[in-house]
Structure 1
């Protein structure tokens, strides 16, 4: 497998914002050496960059900022949060933000109008914390929906590790860590096929969840991601390389022909993957939740996506804990649609168990 043209154009870093003294970090020095011609701008904090975050004028430069800007800083608070859905724990981030531009992504709601990759350079502290945290957990006492034997740590909550690996060796260090931990495994979802990950040695300690949706829908809302067909074609390679490979059917976007499109996708997976891959598959099914603020942002740079994502005729509002207005598919209807899709998976891809669906 070779690098795709997408990988060549996804990042063209011309400006790096960094915290004071960041060059003293070996990881920061490595990243800076990868982009020697980039302009370097010192800022007080990776969370406070004047003119970048919270600037509504940046909507017009949404994709350009993702492509050309990188931020370096330290992760100040190292904590693992309980999750108990996709993973047992959410690990401290080694990066956030993304070079891709999925129209439904929730991360821009937090950063506000700009969402480039931020690399956390204190990787040794993060790896040490995770190793100690896993040791404190001991043996997992009983199976759960996360994993039957291992404590599962999500290492990519606020970004895409396959893209992060193009910028720094943080992901490689995490894969190495979980390859040697006897009671824990890493997990991350991705929409990008990075062949460099096939050179790592995961030894079953990392679970990659390839996010999939019907190709026609993906072309409209999965901006700057690998094609769905390329993600499916990579499944066997990653299993052969020693990864546990799961599927992330997310977000499920309802429209007039959605179920027929999903039937075609599931048949494609069944027809093009090996028996070995299919035997170890498991999937999460997550229906779309959208957000009023993100809807407004998308109208400024990609309004066509909102024809699918913002459907008041199918959705109902729900106020989040932080006061934002989210929209979800209507109660009653959504339950029937979840059942229809899980029944379809059982029919078209019977070896793939559903870990959870909502």
Structure 2
């Protein structure tokens, strides 16, 4: 784990140390220096300092923030999941060039773990109970309410720090009307021992290896992710794939054809019978583009393509760029047609 995480400093909200999970995490990293902070959201030396771009990866590897989740909400989603669960962590040890999180939460954004897992779990149990049975199928799931438990982090990495994710997998195993879901770019085989009984959906993110080697920094390789899928299905997980972000460039469709062939060859019949895909084309951001130029300009050669992209101001005022209207529709059609031809077993849940 030292290549991904080598925790040297823990920024601690004192209230987190009063909780069992907080004490467990502190005991797990006994050599780490403890820096008390007023709030996990206000750490000047970690968040909001442009100079951190020069030591982006080092901060991600060496720093951990331990806090307490203050607000409990389950936001309606309706595409990947029915609800976005209150997070048990945010930030990430990985450093994907296209990740939206640094747009909002600081430049380096190491992992923040929330110690009040009991409160989060109790909230989710009550929320699911209030929903009752799902009245009709939707694109999230035909029978169960789906809760995304990893919107702002990668749960497979979070599980290397604490038992928060395992506690949620255990919780959803007991809920008759709900299941958990999270996307991941990290293969953590410890999860194979958790006995989820079909109540947790893992979405392995995939893209052509040539793109991943440039954009998916510090993640498990694409081949390793595909090789893990059958094992996770056999261990009782529902497994889907996120084909994202789709990057349009010269030869992109041919490389996606090769990836689909790799997925077909690398998975068995049991996996294929339950496999489904989400397809998300790249959305980028002007501010993130400027940040990336300070530490990984090669990535921007792939994902900052003004000739193919148009600007759209988001609800929070950010200037995002996405592929041009009209052209993007043709890209989506080309990729979904390719899936129908090369991987007809792969049900496309949605594509945009």
Fold-level match, TM-score > 0.5? yes
Residue 328 of structure 2: aligned partner: 334
2:120 and 2:295 map into 1 onto residues whose CA distance is 36
Q: How does 1:159-178 map to 2 (within 5 A)?
A: 159-178=153-172
Selected match of 2:145 from 144, 151, 173: 151
2:69 and 2:213 map into 1 onto residues whose CA distance is 34
Residue 182 of structure 1 pairs with residue 176 of structure 2? yes
1:248 and 1:258 map into 2 onto residues whose CA distance is 17
1:239 and 1:139 map into 2 onto residues whose CA distance is 25
For residue 52 of structure 1, report the CA deviation from its aligned partner. Answer: 1.4
Selected match of 2:257 from 263, 288, 297: 263
For residue 101 of structure 1, report the CA deviation from its aligned partner. Answer: 0.3
Residue 86 of structure 1 pairs with residue 80 of structure 2? yes
Residue 280 of structure 1: aligned partner: 274
2:115 and 2:329 map into 1 onto residues whose CA distance is 43
Residue 319 of structure 1 pairs with residue 309 of structure 2? no
TM-superposition CA deviations, 1:30-88 (whole Å, max 9, x none): 11111100000000000011221110110001000000000000100001000000000
Selected match of 2:38 from 30, 44, 63: 44
1:162 and 1:111 map into 2 onto residues whose CA distance is 20
Provide the secondary structure at the position in 2 that maps to 1:202: coil
Q: How does 1:230-241 map to 2 (within 5 A)?
A: 230-241=224-235
1:324 and 1:157 map into 2 onto residues whose CA distance is 19
Selected match of 1:54 from 48, 55, 67: 48
- Taking only aligned residues, the RMSD between alpha carbons, in angstroms, comes to 0.6
CA contact (8 A) 2:16 2:114 kept: no
Structure 2: 5+ residue runs without aligned partners? none
2:15 and 2:176 map into 1 onto residues whose CA distance is 36
CA contact (8 A) 2:16 2:116 kept: no
TM normalised by structure 1 equals: 0.98
1:352 and 1:138 map into 2 onto residues whose CA distance is 30
2:292 and 2:136 map into 1 onto residues whose CA distance is 43
For residue 324 of structure 1, report the CA deviation from its aligned partner. Answer: 1.1
CA contact (8 A) 2:15 2:68 kept: no
Structure 1: 5+ residue runs without aligned partners? 1-6
TM-superposition CA deviations, 1:121-143 (whole Å, max 9, x none): 00000000000000000000000
Selected match of 2:92 from 98, 110, 113: 98
Which portions of structure 1, spanning 4 or more consecutive aligned residues, are displaced by more than 4 angstroms?
none
1:317 and 1:23 map into 2 onto residues whose CA distance is 44
Residue 310 of structure 1: aligned partner: 304
For residue 347 of structure 1, report the CA deviation from its aligned partner. Answer: 1.1
1:8 and 1:143 map into 2 onto residues whose CA distance is 43
1:71 and 1:183 map into 2 onto residues whose CA distance is 33
